[in-house]
Structure 1
Amino acid sequence: MTQVRPRMTHLFEQLGLDSSEQAIQLFISTHQLPAATKITEADYWSAGQRQFLAEKIKSDGEWAIIVDQLNEALHEDSLIQ
């Protein structure tokens, strides 16, 4: 049995969000976070979504890499000087 490596589209599916490329780009551009706000502290997540993200970060597995990529994308504006 072959295991599929998680991707950003899979993460959005697991979060119950539209996983099309355009929807992901729109979500990222419209949900930017201040530098001091952790991804799991964003007010737009439901309790379940927040828990899912926290669990995947703690797992330090392949999902953690994808969540970290989303975290970086959601903080892009805070890094621009």
Structure 2
Amino acid sequence: MESPTHSLPNLFKQLGLPDDAESIDKFIATHSPLKPGLHLADAFFWTKCQADFLREDILDDSDWTEVVDQLDVLLRKGRGGMPVS
């Protein structure tokens, strides 16, 4: 059985954030770069529920892990031309 594959817009929707490409780009531009050594889930801009979701995903190595890692990279380096979908 294959694991579900999630996209960056799906992750933003799961987090209760606007999930269109323009909103995702704006979010990343506004909140990047993250400080080295700061865990994604510990960033100041998440709500408690969002941070808990990200933290649990990372600990549980869930099917969201790949796209959460993608978001982490984007927030550390900026968009850098990576596709949203």
User: TM-score normalised to the size of structure 1?
Assistant: 0.84
Residue 46 of structure 1 corresponds to 47
Aligned-pair distance for 1:4? 4.8
Aligned positions, number: 76
Aligned-pair distance for 1:39? 0.5
Tell me: higher relative CO, structure 1 or 2? Use CA pairs within 8 A at least 6 residues apart.
Answer: 2
Query: What amino acid maps onto 1:76 in structure 2?
Result: K
Gaps of 5+ in 1: none
What percent of counterpart residues are identical? 35
Residue 24 of structure 2 corresponds to 24
**Greater helix percent: which structure?**
1
Runs of 4+ in 1 over 3 A off after TM superposition: none
User: TM-score normalised to the size of structure 2?
Assistant: 0.80
Gaps of 5+ in 2: 79-85
RMSD, matched Cα? 1.7
